[in-house]
Structure 1
């Protein structure tokens, strides 16, 4: 039976409702960023719509919008998220963060490969602002400990989409002669060995970030539940056992 039906307010539920609004706000910002970025690339003479939608950043941004809207609805109208949503939210959070990391690396290394990359406001939103906001929402959600903890099995799912995307992108790139990221183009990274190294580095980043997120979520969840379950006199009894006199009432 839900807390709404029983009239019992679950700890942190008001904050959870605010978190739901925050999730909707991030989704709205992501949509603005996507629209702005699409309008920006329309100004390029060789622009192709299919190429725009082939970027991992763009695809992960669409995933983030859908997941944020679903998660926002759960936060507003349910006492907790279903367990599967915690897994999906963590995975999508990792995706948008990796997109930002890769974009930052590309911008910093572009001149080495004779690239000139501009960073319009839409790219700033997509690659830096939204990932930061998503991490904030994810962290607050973990601190509230209203939702089930994220399972370690999340590590087994996070690579499914990136591996499929890499396979499709490499096949499509070989056919069209165009790649969304220069480290996937063998002509620019010294052959297929360079491409393989780039792909492996990306996959390791996905796994490492996911492991960190799951570990942090479970740690914050345990701490929040321990504080919530501790009796009011627990700190006083711990002080007495340590040899410190308990304060007088």
Structure 2
């Protein structure tokens, strides 16, 4: 009995720490987004009306919201709701992929002799928070398996965002990323190759996160509950026979 109580207390403590971690991560994300906005305005690298046009900014706004909700849920409940788990998988896929693509863009800018400044807020949004979120995704307790429908949801967003961005760019003559501007690439083949590579990364990251969580958790909670009930019933029958 005492061992069971100790385990419950340990689980409750871990859930509390998980909730605080999520709320702290959401706060850091909000601070980094604010710094990135004012840094961009002061350095004249962005216009105010274009700040939220970046996929990275949009995905990190979603990250801050979802982690706030997940943090409050972890402080209140022993287990995450399946929708919270799915939402975390989606936003983590977006932010992790944005970090990978950003690293590629910085490398390509160097190859093209194009200067890209990377302030601390960009480093937090593109690298540190996604890395923390991956560790949280793999190891924190109280989270179930991620549904496979996460993958098409993850892919739907960059497709819709890309279509709208291309349309908006044709009107205002500005694009958040160079490979979306046909004037800055060698032609449609490079555009298709780069865009296809980005979508492939989105698919690979989301599929890997879903697979890792499903492998880590094993049987779904409801299935595990049926197994436990079946075992308990079997034990009761054996006791009666004895």
Query: TM tier, shorter chain?
Result: 0.7 to 0.9
Match of 2:3 in 1: none
Superimposed CA distance per residue, residues 145-195 of structure 1 (whole angstroms, 9 cap, x where no aligned partner):
x33211122222111211111111111111111111111111122122322
CA distance in structure 2 between the aligned counterparts of 1:173 and 1:113, rounded to whole angstroms: 22
Structure-2-length-normalised TM-score: 0.83
Runs of 4+ in 1 over 4 A off after TM superposition: none
SS of corresponding position for 1:158: helix
1:37 corresponds in structure 2 to: 36
2:110 aligned residue = 111
What is the TM-score normalised by the length of structure 1? 0.81
Gaps of 5+ in 2: 1-6, 222-226, 229-242
Aligned equivalents of 2:155, 2:102: Cα separation in 1: 19
Conserved? CA contact 1:24–1:68, under 8 Å: yes
Between structures 1 and 2, the one with greater helix share: 2
Listed as ranges, the matches of 1:20-35 within 5 Å are 20-35=19-34
Contact 1:21 1:72 in 2 (8 A): yes
Say if 1:45 and 1:82 are closer, same or farther in 2 by CA, change over 3 A. closer
Contact between 1:19 and 1:75, CA under 8 Å: does it hold in 2? yes
For the residues of structure 1 that align with 2:114 and 2:106, how far apart are their CA atoms?
9
Residues matched between the structures, number: 220
- After superposing the two structures, state which structure 1 stretch, 125-134 or 38-47, moved more: 38-47
Say if 2:168 is the partner of 1:172: yes
Match of 1:216, SS? helix
Q: Give the match for residue 125 of structure 1.
A: 124
RMSD: 2.5
Alpha-carbon distance between aligned partners in 2 of 1:150 and 1:111, rounded to the nearest angstrom? 38
- How far apart are the structure 1 equivalents of 2:78 and 2:54? 36
What does residue 192 of structure 2 align with? Answer: 196
CA distance in 2, matches of 1:216, 1:203: 20
Q: Which shows bigger deviation, 120-129 or 53-62?
A: 120-129
Consecutive unaligned residues of structure 1, counting only runs of 5 or more, are: 1-7, 231-249
Tell me the alpha carbon deviations over residues 30-50 of structure 1, each in whole angstroms, 9 at most, x when there is no partner: 011111111111123463112
| Distance in 2 (alpha carbons) for counterparts of 1:83 and 1:134 | 17
